[in-house]
Every structure is written in structure tokens, then in C-alpha cells.
């Protein structure tokens, strides 16, 4: 199979997400692609350049503005799909990935965080507005403040070391966190819809 730059970037990103950035050398990338390191360098100048391209791809893949944008779904259904998507991202991402990115590639890290925050903010802001219009979310919630608080909550989940201390996992707590969040913003109509959709998990 002929190597292309998109294939190189996609595979490298998978390796970085799974094992962290520092522990994956250019030799490792070449080995996984079954090509020589020289071939890899035909597409990228160095590891810094490769990491930058991977961050660009990750930003593109994490763009949530059109995620779950099915007009046939109500906002409760969308919230459930987005929760599952975020849960998958949080549990698949090796903690070393962001640590390495921040320590060794700070400019790429700053870009990554900025894009991620914007994606979450734009998507959640739009969905909260939709939920209020549909009658599923309370009209008195402060959309901007709630959206910012949710970004803080998502980021703090990745940075805490509390899971080992209490012998639990992030995934084990995410269901309850989402349940808590939804009941905090939903009207009775929204709660009833949520129960209907989740009673047969």
C-alpha cells in the first residue's frame, strides 16, 4: 500500500493518542507503516511538524458544529449522543498525550486547547438554545455561564488523579455526571423525555 501524507498523519495520531507522544518515535511510526524512516521524512520535516499536522487533524475530527446535527432528533437525543461521543474521547485518550503535548510542544498544545474549547462552546451553546425553544430545558438557565462551566468540568476530568484514590474510573462516574447535568437544566418535559429514552439502556 502506497504511503500518503494523510495516511501518515492519521496513523501517527492514533499512535500518539494510544501511547502518548514522547514514547512514540519516528522509528515507531515508520515501523507501524512498514516503511523506512527516510520515507516518512519525505512527507514531514521532523517530529514537531508531524505533531502539528496531527493536531490539525484532531481539531478537524473534533469539530462538533455538525456532529449529531440530525433535524429529526430532539435536543435530549442529541445530548445523549454527544455525551457518548465525549465519553469515548475521554476514555480513549492516553493521559500522556496532553501531558507530552503541553510539555514538549506548547504551541501545538495551546492551539489544541483553543480549538477544543471553541468546538464544545459552539455546540453546547446552540443545543441549549434549541432545548429552551423546544421546552425541554429551563428558560431561566444562563447559557453562556453553563457552557463555560461544562468546559471546565470536562477539562478537570482529564487532569484529576482522584479516580485511583477512590478506586473508581472516569467512565464509571460519567453516567452519573451526565444524569446530574441533565436533571439540573431540564424541565419536567425534558426529564420525562430523558427517562423514556434511557429506561431501556
pLDDT in tens, 113-128: 999 899 889 999 999 9
pTM, two decimals, is 0.84
Q: Which domains does the chain have, with CATH numbers?
A: 5-53 (1.10.10.60), 64-198 (1.10.357.10)
Taking only the tens place, the pLDDT of each residue in 135-144 is: 999 999 999 9
Listed residue (22, 19, 173) closest to 95, CA to CA: 19
The span from the CA of 183 to the CA of 137, in Å, is 9
Amino acid at each position: 500500500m502506497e504511503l500518503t501524507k494523510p495516511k501518515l498523519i492519521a496513523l501517527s495520531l492514533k499512535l500518539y493518542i494510544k501511547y502518548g507522544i514522547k514514547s512514540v518515535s519516528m522509528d515507531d511510526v515508520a515501523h507501524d507503516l512498514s516503511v523506512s524512516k527516510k520515507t516518512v521524512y519525505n512527507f514531514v520535516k521532523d517530529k514537531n511538524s508531524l505533531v502539528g499536522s496531527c493536531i490539525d487533524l484532531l481539531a478537524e475530527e473534533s469539530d462538533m458544529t455538525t456532529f449529531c446535527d440530525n433535524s429529526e432528533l430532539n435536543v435530549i437525543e442529541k445530548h445523549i449522543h454527544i455525551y457518548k461521543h465525549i465519553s469515548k474521547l475521554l476514555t480513549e485518550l492516553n493521559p500522556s498525550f496532553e501531558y507530552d503535548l503541553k510539555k514538549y510542544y506548547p504551541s501545538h498544545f495551546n492551539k489544541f486547547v483553543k480549538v477544543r474549547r471553541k468546538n464544545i462552546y459552539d455546540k453546547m451553546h446552540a443545543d441549549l438554545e434549541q432545548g429552551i425553544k423546544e421546552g425541554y430545558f429551563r428558560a431561566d438557565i444562563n447559557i453562556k455561564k453553563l457552557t463555560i462551566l461544562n468546559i471546565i468540568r470536562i477539562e478537570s476530568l482529564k487532569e484529576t488523579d482522584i479516580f485511583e484514590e477512590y478506586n473508581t474510573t472516569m467512565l464509571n462516574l460519567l453516567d452519573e455526571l451526565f444524569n446530574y447535568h441533565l436533571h439540573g437544566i431540564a424541565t419536567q418535559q425534558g426529564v420525562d423525555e430523558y427517562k423514556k429514552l434511557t429506561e431501556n439502556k
